Amino acid sequence: MSTTYRYTNLTSAMADPNSPLRQLFDRLFPNTRDVQAAYREGKPHLLVEGGTANPGTLGAAFDYATRFALDILYDAPLARAAFIDEPDTVSNIDAVITAAQIAQLIGDRTTVFRASWALGLLTEVYRIGLLSGSPLRDLIDAGRMHAQDLLESAPADALDQLSKMDAIARERLLPYLRHPLELGPTFEGSALCRRRR
């Protein structure tokens, strides 16, 4: 008998103490609370102050911007995943990816950040569905899922934070990565998490 897999992303599986993944991690790593407490006692500080941009989307956008910095031909397949049955939308997503690749080639990181923000929003639809507060909701409702509209969806605060995070990553992260790199690996179990709008 087949059952529907109830988790659409790693975060939701880890948040549920009854999920098989969370139970495995609890068994393998039973002392995480001690590690977290020691980390908090060290009084860590944020290297980039937060702002008005959605932190989840910001994290996804930073991930994409870093991938383009590491591989100019990175293809961002998850950004298309929720729209795979909509050829016009996929074509516009492809145009956003191409814009990021060209911008990376010519050193235009602002356009890379704009594209990465759009790709982060698109990936969220795959991971958690199209939420009512998503900036994509207005574009979809207005029939304006065009590449230019997607590139213009990034708020100024997001671009500012991405620029600061990017500068820190170039100094403290990228020089220490060992090659070859596998950017955005997929696993067999990922097929269980596919979500439709």
Give pLDDT tens digits for 18-72.
Answer: 888 888 888 988 888 888 888 888 888 888 888 889 999 999 999 999 999 999 9
Contacts of residue 80, defined as CB under 8 A and 6 or more positions apart, other chains included, come to: 90, 93, 94, 122
Domain co-membership, 98 together with 31: no
Q: Which residue has the tokens 């031909």?
A: 73
Q: For residue 185, what are the domain limits?
A: 55-193
Domain co-membership, 184 together with 87: yes
**80-90 b/e (C-beta count within 10 Å ≥ 16 → b):** bbbbeeeeebb
Domain co-membership, 33 together with 97: no
Do the domain assignments include residue 176?
yes
pLDDT of residue 182 exceeding 60:
yes
Q: Using a pLDDT cut of 70, give the percent of the chain over it.
A: 89
pLDDT of residue 196 exceeding 70:
no
> CB 48: neighbour CB atoms within 10 A?
16
Confidence of residue 1 (pLDDT cuts 50, 70, 90): very low
Amino acid present at 15 = A
Amino acid present at 77 = P
Do the domain assignments include residue 46?
no
Amino acid present at 84 = I
Rounded to whole angstroms, how far apart are CA atoms 4 and 9?
14
**105-136 b/e (C-beta count within 10 Å ≥ 16 → b):** eeeebebbbbbbbbbbbbbbbbbbebeeebbb
pLDDT of residue 197 exceeding 60:
no
Statement: the pTM of the whole predicted model exceeds 0.85: no
